[in-house]
Structure 1
Amino acid sequence: MGLTWKQRVFKALLGAAAVSGLTALLLILVGTVNVLLPTDTKFGIVFDAGSSHTSLFVYQWPADKENDTGVVSQALACQAEGQWTVCQRAPVCAQYSFSGEWIQPLEETLVGSLDMGGASTQITFVPGGPILDKTTQATFRLYGADHTVYTHSYLCFGRDQALSRLLVELVQASPGLLVRHPCYHSGYRDTLALAPLYESPCILAAAPPDLSQNLTVEGTGNPGACIEALRKLFNFSSCDGRADCALAGVYQPPVQGQFYAFSSFYYTFHFLNLTSRPSLSEANATIWEFCLQPWKL
């Protein structure tokens, strides 16, 4: 059942109050010092807010350039871990970060974006056909040219939430409080509190009656069983008979061109030393070999 308009308004006001309160708290807690800024330099602040942490970046650029088109450089960066995040974008960083003439790339040379965060995974690209569902369409201006793209955020398919959903699937299939996890290395063992696992809105399974207990997780290092367990997180029949669908029954227009994958995609492949454009078979073989290694070498 959908939310009533009163509930939607309440949630919106609650979210706005949380963001405003957190912003004020940050300004209070962070030590401040009066500093005379140079008149020939402008500054911008970016809060990059994700589900697991917020990163703060300070940028600077020459103030004497027309329309603030000076070359932007990063002056400071820091990261704060936590669930509560705020977000403020500096438009100048998106609109002006060049010297010289605008270089407008051809539409067919633009690349798509795959961004895996902690709670969701985003896909954005210029489609190979019209976007029929206008709620998935976004228009933005880049390097002096307007672009229309398809974009969608797959909630609960980020790294952290996907791992939590996988663990809950294994808990539901286990007769007791000992879970044998095929995606963890053989020899891995950990004890977790059961209650926090069911607090996420991404967890739809019914919680056990006694959430005060602890859960023991043991790794088995079985890549084949890991793949089968992960497949249960996806509803592969949700797109049956539809050419304009890719995942979870969500509309998606025809894909074209190349994609850049970053965030958790990059972190994982960098850890496995797979950043030199390996083939799919090479990537699968490397991942399979790594998963077969014991937890303690």
Structure 2
Amino acid sequence: MGLKRPASCFSALLWLVAALLVILGITGIVLVNQPNEYYCNPQEYAVVFDGGSSHTSMAVYQWLADTITEYGTGVASQLAFESSCGEAGISSYADDPEGLVPGFEKCLETASLVIPEYSHAKTPIFLGATAGMRLLNVTDPDKSDAVMAVVRETLASSPFHLPYEKEQATILRGEKEGSSSWISANYLEANLGVEPATGDVIHDLSPSEPIPVKPTFGALDLGGASTQVTFIPDTPGDVPDEYLANLRLYGHEFDQYTYSFLCYGANEARRRFEANLVKDSGFANVTLNPCSPVGYSYELTGDYLWKAPCSKGPIAMEGWGSETTSAPGVSEDDMEVMTYTLKGTGDAKQCYNLSKTLFDFDAKCDKPPCSFNGVYTPLPHGSFKALSTYAYTAVGIGMPSKPTIEEFNTAGDDFCVKTYDELKNLPDKMKYKVTYCFQIMYIKALLFDAFKFDASNWEIDFTLQVNDVDLGWLLGFTINATNWVPLEQACVGINSSTSIGLLIIFIIILVVGLLLLLHKLYRECLAVEGGESYQRAPSKPADKA
């Protein structure tokens, strides 16, 4: 009996396997043959974060997959925009990287709501960190790496597609930022050979047919820690390779001049300007500031003036060509507690003249023409869009978006003479209003003295939006990314080829199960017949003695 037990167990196991295969095969065949609605979303999406020096924002873009096939580049539109994904730029979290997580999670939740759930896993997500992180990466690489690590972990925990963490969440080169802003402005103005998609309805996303390429706009972008200038010069062939960016968009080639001036953003320029004022006053307790309104006084610490990356060290030398000078005999510890009072005088002319001293117009110019600091910059050619702080400042001082030179100069002069009490009656937050005089005079020095705008080439639109879409580098970055990011459509249901494959598999499973059952039945029948034959066989007679 002990020898027969394993065979009995094995036989029962075969019965069970055969039965399960038959059940699985029949169930699979029935399910595959059920009515099935197979649908692939014609829209594709991308989530893009702007990790700026003073803020973090997020945009969600969409485009029809067919437009990449037709034009080689996605015809994208903005689906959603969050202007604040935290209280400050991500470089501000150098000492507490985890502090950026709540702001990011808020914006990721918005993206999750506006993108269909079945498209989440196919939707790429990006973050480009700009000048603030470029500075931190040079001055304190460990802290920079820690911030970027938390950023990548946070994005990876989202439902979106992040296969290449370091490539998709990275610190952008300034030239990439400027080039992307140029794409944004020209795409929205229909200069690149397609009508831009501006709606969120599917049939509004794709143009009916290509259109002729039109003259492009230059892009002037002024951030907190850097400024970029990007345009197609009158003679692109004369541009040295290190200043040239080649783009292929919608089947057309574009050769741009682009350059990013690190430390020449509005915030860092103001810091350098104030440090120079304090130094030139002999480090007096009270320093007069011609760029601040009459009736306004404020305090700055030595820490703020002299310890920032653009104030001292390799970044200051690279950007400005010099370091700010701290008070004689002041130690690093003393800087944190030392304060200086700056008092506004509201003098537009002096503000402008002192702003010009921030630029080294006499630096050696190896390849003319140069703007400042010996940097090759072609003369302006064509129309320009002035973005970011350019546009915010224009709105803040009440200047027309497309001013004449006279209107530009008048708006700046009129604003700078307003007293602090008069500013109280104007819209906007006071912390911004007290900076607008410096910013417009700094912009004036940039445009007239550095980039050589004058009456013969002045055609600038100070704008924050085109067709109700926010301008900046995010849209242009996304459009360019559709050229090289491998994307797959998100589909729901089972397509016909998959259905046929599954049907064949389940039929094979059913046939195997049936063959096992037949085999077992046949063996059982043989066993039964053998047993009966054994019972019917006559006994041999006993031998006689």
Which TM bucket (shorter chain)?
0.7 to 0.9
User: Equivalent residue of 1:196, what SS?
Assistant: helix
Question: What are structure 1's unaligned runs of at least 5 residues?
Answer: 1-37
TM-score by length of 2: 0.43
Match of 1:196 in 2: 304
Find the aligned partners of 1:246 and 1:65 in 2 and give their Cα distance. 40
Larger radius of gyration between Structure 1 and Structure 2: 2
Q: Which amino acid aligns with 1:82?
A: A
Match of 1:48 in 2: 50
Among the aligned pairs, what percent are the same residue? 32
Shifted more, 47-56 versus 157-166: the winner is 47-56
User: Equivalent residue of 1:171, what SS?
Assistant: helix
Q: Which amino acid aligns with 1:162?
A: A
TM-score by length of 1: 0.77
Give the structure, 1 or 2, with the largest relative contact order (CA under 8 Å, sep 6 or more).
2
User: Equivalent residue of 1:252, what SS?
Assistant: coil
Match of 1:119 in 2: 225
Match of 2:90 in 1: 84
Is 1:155 aligned with 2:262?
A: yes
Match of 1:167 in 2: 274
Find the aligned partners of 1:65 and 1:238 in 2 and give their Cα distance. 48
- Whether the aligned pair in 2 keeps the contact of 1:131 and 1:150 (CA below 8 Å) is no
Match of 1:182 in 2: 290
- Whether the aligned pair in 2 keeps the contact of 1:119 and 1:159 (CA below 8 Å) is yes
- Whether the aligned pair in 2 keeps the contact of 1:48 and 1:56 (CA below 8 Å) is yes
CA offsets 1:14-69 (integer angstroms, 9 cap, x no match): xxxxxxxxxxxxxxxxxxxxxxxx96243210112322112111223456776485
What does 1:236-251 align with in structure 2 at a 5 Å threshold?
236-238=361-363, 243-251=368-376
Query: 1 or 2, which has the higher helix percentage?
Result: 2
- Whether the aligned pair in 1 keeps the contact of 2:59 and 2:78 (CA below 8 Å) is no
Query: 1 or 2, which has the higher strand percentage?
Result: 1
1:122–1:215 CA distance, 2 compared to 1 (3 A): same
Task: Let me know the Cα RMSD of the aligned residues.
Answer: 2.8
Q: Which amino acid aligns with 2:340?
A: L
1:164–1:268 CA distance, 2 compared to 1 (3 A): same
Figure out how many residues of one structure are paired with residues of the other and give that number: 256
Is 1:280 aligned with 2:424?
A: no
User: Equivalent residue of 1:296, what SS?
Assistant: helix
- Pairwise CA distance, 1:76: 4.0
Match of 1:234 in 2: 359
1:49–1:103 CA distance, 2 compared to 1 (3 A): farther
2:77 aligned residue (63, 69, 72): 72
Q: Which amino acid aligns with 2:44?
A: K
Q: Which amino acid aligns with 1:77?
A: E
Match of 2:527 in 1: none
Q: Which amino acid aligns with 2:325?
A: A
Find the aligned partners of 2:380 and 2:371 in 1 and give their Cα distance. 10
1:166–1:256 CA distance, 2 compared to 1 (3 A): same
Find the aligned partners of 2:75 and 2:381 in 1 and give their Cα distance. 34
- Pairwise CA distance, 1:281: 1.7
Q: Which amino acid aligns with 1:173?
A: D
Find the aligned partners of 2:208 and 2:362 in 1 and give their Cα distance. 51
CA offsets 1:155-203 (integer angstroms, 9 cap, x no match): 1111101100100110101131211110000000112222122222222
